[in-house]
Amino acid sequence: MGDYSKLAENHEPEIQALALSPETQAELNTGSDGLSSEEVILRFQRDGPNLLPEKREKSCLWYLGYLWGPIPLMIWAAITFEILRDAWVSFFVLLILQFINGIMKWYQDRGSRTSIKKLKTSLLPQTYVKREGRCEQVASKDLVIGDRIKIKIGDIAPADLVLCEGSCEFDLSSISGESFPVKKGEGQVVYQGSICKKGEMEAIVLATGIRTFLYKSKQKFTVKSEKTSFEKANFWISVSLLIVSTMLVGVILAVVLVRGNDILESLSICTVLLVASIPIAMQLVCTTVLAVGANTMASKKTIVARLNSIEKLAGMNLLCVKKTGMLTRNDLTAQQPVLLRRYTIEDIFLSAGLASKRTPGSQDPIDKCITEYATQKCRINFQAYDELEFIPFDSKKKRCEVLVQNTRTGDRFKCTKGSPQIILAMAQDPEIENEVTKQVEELSVRGYRAIGVARTNKDGKWSMIGLIPLYDPPREDAKDSIEKAFQMQIGIKLVTGDQMAISKETAKLLNLGDKIYHGEIVCFDTTEEQKENLDSVLDHADGFAEVFPEHKYIIVKLLQEKGYKVGVMGSNVNDVAALKKADVGIAVYGALDAAKSASDIILTYPGLSVIMAAVHEARKTFQRLNNYYTYRIACTLQLLLFFATTMILINPSKKHCNQGDCDKVPNTFALPVISLVIITVLNDGTIISIAYDNVAANTKPYKLSLSMILWNSLILGIIPYVSSVALLLMAIGHMDTNHPNRILKFFGIGALNYGEILTMMYLKVSLSDYLTVFAARTSDWFWSSKPTKLLMFSAAVAILIATLLSVYWFLHYFEWTDEKSDFPSMKPIGWGTAGFVWGYNIVFFIFQDLIKVFIHKQQQVRSQNENYYLSSGVVDENFLVFTGSVQSKNSIVTKRSMIAANED
């Protein structure tokens, strides 16, 4: 177990800094491992709290604190104005609006927080810890000071640790900025966030949570994260609408006051109009849309590390795919081996088995199938060999290695298994190069992946034993997923460390293409002739084989420089650089913690179909956001332009009137405050339901275009605005029974008094708002996509309430101050007039949808030449240029293989 009293002595200052009780320190310094007694763990838990202080769940009343934001303060101002002028009905309705907004925000925010919390919980790293002599897996956040944990390749140090026996190499770039891995041994401290790059060992937890070096360092620096395009869109849309609304409402207020209208009432109307125009719930709706999308993706086996990762996934137009586990099942079976010289089948599986992990639960698929074949078919007993040193598989070396000792003879020797070209390069035996190369190619044509096996002889030199063919059948969904990716205009490039031959056969089998290049073509030592053709090759290549980690990073970098939004898949610690560099880093099923921490997307199920389903859902999510932006801007334009035009330019008192309330016809048209409040309340419910709407995913990668959104919004907002102004002019002219409006008279509408005109316009504006959502939710005809039941229900409720209020308007009976108001109250209009307004709105809604579809078709014609990905088709000459000089015609050994073979 080791003498941990020395570790405690070496790190006494750190332990003192942790403010542990003397009793607890005594337990740590007794020479025990600090884990043999449950009492010790309890004391560590008591004296060394490891978690950040958890924020208490916000209560409903706390969320009503939203009522003190900038927009709610405007509503409070309007409420104050209503109190001052004794308009108690408007006061109560405004107060109800205020609390409804607060409760809706609380409900939606709680839902979003719950969704995000579930996603974060699913991403919590796990750690193997030894307690009371038992090894168990716990969440890293639940570690306590003194825990003994296991660190292996790809693990991220979950706390500040003191290392036990052995040594490991750690990537400290996140802590110290050190570019290369640093070797750490017994008694040394490794800080939280360090990544294990090589080796396995145990460690003792020294500090956790707020006590770690990483946490304390973060408190000294503020890191500004770059905003995504949709976050920028939220900001600019909100600011733009706020500025435009404020300016227009300011002009309206000035005109109304100059005309001599009541100051308080004018202020109240303008304040509520400003509230109705500004997108109060924009940030809330956008967060809800993203949270709903993330939840849906999680149900389809895809977890997003951050909500803004959804936008990156939706905009991805090129995907670098792993072969194993994504295009193939990763369900390997060992076949009859290819033996060299006088070696036997027992020799090759003994060496391969010794170079494998044999403990169930710690094996990868290759180790598992080889050890099963060795023990079940060859009846090999590994107990006669002691493992002295084991070097796990390293994607940079593409092999694993073990030093063993025969307990019977005392002989020591090394065994290794890995990529054939690496093992062949290690053997340095020219006599077998042609034979091994030929066998690898023949096995690849038959669909087999070859694993090279070697061991050292008495002189310590490597001797290649042979090849073990592994069969990994293609996944059933792979071919269909590739076809779907092409339909979604996502290019697919195979990026694998497997041999060229097997990579080509797999690509051909799945209809991916036959232009597979060697990974070395992207190295900086390529010839001038190759460099001239590199751009063409990057566009048209179907994949890259025998790729090392540095190749993958360069491939991603070069593709990004050509303008692609690149997604790359990774699973191990050496993929971290490429995952971070990519626009979308994707940790595949079974990826190590280091790969997951560097990724934007984490797959919890194997197969390419999982990521295709995630892309489809991501595009739907941002289509919902586009629909919301379009609808929100269109509604604001309709309201602002209508009231700006009518309140500034139209003077109803100058029109001839011979109805009963002609003496109350004002010099300024304005809807009463209460009607504006009702429009706002009902509109909020319809807006939020957009987050759950059915939408059709775009066939192209998502790209935010504010100009396109503004153009579409302008179309959808101008038509209702024009129709509203036209109806108002017709209605005002219809107050004269001697010369009524011909259109209204034709439809049987009797002469209108001014109170009925107000109600008619309230219904017209309301219906235009609620119907516009159905035009904004799709670029095709409004019936082309079926809305969700929630959207239909919320819109139907809003429309029904608006219609019933118009027909049976009763609030005017409670407005006791009508005689003091410059703006008359509304009057019920009856079913006949309401039916006419309905028909009028439907006609213009159809016209609105027709213009929208026409404009969209024109946009499609202009953009039809855009192509996000060029399919395979590079000329054979270029292919030969790059294939030549990378490797000799008689050997699979490359320059990079020789380097990997000689790496320590």
Over residues 257-295, the pLDDT tens digits come to 888 877 877 787 888 788 777 776 677 778 778 888 888
Strand positions, DSSP E, 771-842: none
Over residues 307-354, the pLDDT tens digits come to 788 888 999 999 999 888 888 888 889 999 999 988 999 999 999 999
Mean pLDDT to the nearest integer, 736-750: 84
Task: Specify the pLDDT at position 119.
Answer: 57
Higher pLDDT, 60 or 473: 473
Mean pLDDT to the nearest integer, 83-90: 71
CATH topology of domain 267-295+619-863: Calcium-transporting ATPase, transmembrane domain (1.20.1110)
Over residues 686-713, the pLDDT tens digits come to 777 887 888 888 888 888 888 888 888 8
For 303-328+475-604, the fitting CATH number among 3.40.50.10140, 3.40.190.10, 3.30.530.20, 3.40.50.1000 is 3.40.50.1000
Q: Is 315 exposed, middle or buried (0-12, 13-18, 19+ CB in 10 A)?
A: buried
Percent above pLDDT 90 for the chain? 22
Task: Specify the pLDDT at position 418.
Answer: 93
Mean pLDDT to the nearest integer, 762-775: 91
385 falls in which pLDDT band (50, 70, 90)? very high
Helices (H), 259-381: 263-277, 282-299, 309-315, 345-354, 365-376
Higher pLDDT, 359 or 218: 359
Task: Specify the pLDDT at position 106.
Answer: 64
Query: Which of 265-274, 473-482, 886-895 comes out lowest in average pLDDT?
Result: 886-895
Q: Which residues contact 296 (CB under 8 A, 6 or more apart)?
A: 617, 621
Higher pLDDT, 213 or 121: 213
Q: Using CA atoms, how far apart are residues 370 and 339, in angstroms rounded to an integer?
A: 15
116 falls in which pLDDT band (50, 70, 90)? low
Mean pLDDT to the nearest integer, 834-847: 94
User: Are the C-beta atoms of residues 422 and 440 closer than 8 Å to each other?
Assistant: no
Q: Is 732 exposed, middle or buried (0-12, 13-18, 19+ CB in 10 A)?
A: buried
Query: Which of 7-21, 33-47, 125-139 comes out lowest in average pLDDT?
Result: 33-47
Task: Specify the pLDDT at position 423.
Answer: 94
User: Which phi and psi (to 5°) does residue 5 adopt?
Assistant: -65, -35
Using the predicted structure, report yes or no on whether residue 45 has a pLDDT greater than 50.
no
Higher pLDDT, 475 or 528: 475
Using the predicted structure, report yes or no on whether residue 216 has a pLDDT greater than 70.
no
Mean pLDDT to the nearest integer, 640-648: 89
What's domain 4-48+124-217's architecture? Distorted Sandwich (2.70)
112 falls in which pLDDT band (50, 70, 90)? low
With tokens 């905009």, the residue in question is 315
Using the predicted structure, report yes or no on whether residue 873 has a pLDDT greater than 50.
no
Count Cα atoms within 13 angstroms, Cβ side, for 618. 29
Q: Best-predicted range by mean pLDDT among 32-41, 77-86, 553-562?
A: 553-562
What is the DSSP code (8-state) at residue 65? G
Higher pLDDT, 607 or 30: 607
Task: Specify the pLDDT at position 1.
Answer: 36
Task: Specify the pLDDT at position 482.
Answer: 92
Provide the CATH number for the domain formed by 333-471 in this structure: 3.40.1110.10
Mean pLDDT to the nearest integer, 822-832: 78
Task: Specify the pLDDT at position 727.
Answer: 94
8 falls in which pLDDT band (50, 70, 90)? very low
Higher pLDDT, 637 or 878: 637
Higher pLDDT, 789 or 810: 789
Mean pLDDT to the nearest integer, 133-151: 80
- By DSSP bridging, strand 601-603 and strand 412-418 are unpaired
Mean pLDDT of all residues in the chain? 78
Using the predicted structure, report yes or no on whether residue 90 has a pLDDT greater than 80.
no
Q: Where are the chain's structural domains?
A: 4-48+124-217, 267-295+619-863, 303-328+475-604, 333-471
Q: Which residues contact 449 (CB under 8 A, 6 or more apart)?
A: 332, 443, 469, 470, 471, 472, 498, 499, 502
Residue 308 token pair: 């803004």
Q: Using CA atoms, how far apart are residues 535 and 479, in angstroms rounded to an integer?
A: 27
Using the predicted structure, report yes or no on whether residue 467 has a pLDDT greater than 80.
yes
Residue 58 token pair: 């916000």
Q: Best-predicted range by mean pLDDT among 6-20, 85-99, 680-694, 766-780?
A: 766-780
**DSSP string of 687-719?**
HHHGGG---PPPSS-----HHHHHHHHHHHHHH
What pTM was estimated for this model as a whole? Answer: 0.77
Mean pLDDT to the nearest integer, 820-844: 83
Higher pLDDT, 363 or 228: 363
Using the predicted structure, report yes or no on whether residue 109 has a pLDDT greater than 90.
no
Query: Which of 323-327, 357-361, 373-377, 859-863 comes out lowest in average pLDDT?
Result: 859-863
Q: Best-predicted range by mean pLDDT among 166-170, 247-251, 271-275?
A: 247-251
Task: Specify the pLDDT at position 412.
Answer: 94
Task: Specify the pLDDT at position 451.
Answer: 94
Higher pLDDT, 262 or 794: 794
Determine how many CB atoms are found less than 10 A away from the CB of residue 128: 15
Mean pLDDT to the nearest integer, 563-583: 88
Task: Specify the pLDDT at position 833.
Answer: 92
32 falls in which pLDDT band (50, 70, 90)? very low
Buried b or exposed e, range 398-433, using 16+ CB within 10 angstroms:
bbbbbbbeeeeeeeebbbbbbbbbbbbbbbebeebb
Q: Using CA atoms, how far apart are residues 398 and 449, in angstroms rounded to an integer?
A: 14
Over residues 646-675, the pLDDT tens digits come to 888 888 888 777 776 676 788 888 888 778
Percent above pLDDT 70 for the chain? 78
Task: Specify the pLDDT at position 803.
Answer: 93
Task: Specify the pLDDT at position 28.
Answer: 37
- By DSSP bridging, strand 491-495 and strand 338-339 are unpaired
Residue 849 token pair: 């949808």
Mean pLDDT to the nearest integer, 483-498: 90
